[in-house]
Each structure stands twice: as structure tokens, then as C-alpha cells.
Amino acid sequence: MAARIPQPRFPYSVRINTATGTDATLPITLLTPKQAEELKVEFKKIARQAGARGAHISVQRLAADDYKKVLHEAKACVRKAMPKAA
């Protein structure tokens, strides 16, 4: 039996948008390129089954120079999650 060669994993940014204007950026995740493509296919299947027209998923591989972008998105996410001051 041949040994399975582990596939390299890369950091990906996953963003989901809906036609209603709702969007979500999922935490950075490590995926193989094949998993990234499968994620898109699965999302489309889920959106179709839910009847969510106009839903879109963006799965982008991050480069080392995206570090500042990642920090910016993390800060925005935290600010969004904080309760509003009365």
C-alpha cells in the first residue's frame, strides 16, 4: 500500500455575500487548493438548497504581503462584534 503524500496547505480568506447585503468573512483557514475549490462547490450547493439567490462566496489564497490586510480585517471584525455604546 502506497503512503499518502500530504498536500501542502495555504492560508485562504473566505468571504460570503448574500443578495440581502449580509456578508461574513470567515477566519483565515488553511486549505489545499483542491479543498478551496470543493468549498466553493459545496457553498453553491448549500445556497441553492436554501433558495438563497444571489449568494456568492469568494475564496482567495493569501500571500505573505496580505498580512496588513489580514490585521485590518481582524480589527474590523472585532469592532463590528463589540456592543455599541449607549
3-state secondary structure the chain: CCCCCCCCCEEEEEEEECCCCCEEEEEEEEECHHHHHHHHHHHHHHHHHHCCCCCEEEEEECCHHHHHHHHHHHHHHHHHHCCCCC
List the grid coordinates of 65: 504581503
The model carries a pTM of 0.61
Give per-residue pLDDT as tens, 30-85. Answer: 889 999 999 999 998 988 898 888 888 899 888 766 677 777 877 887 887 777 65
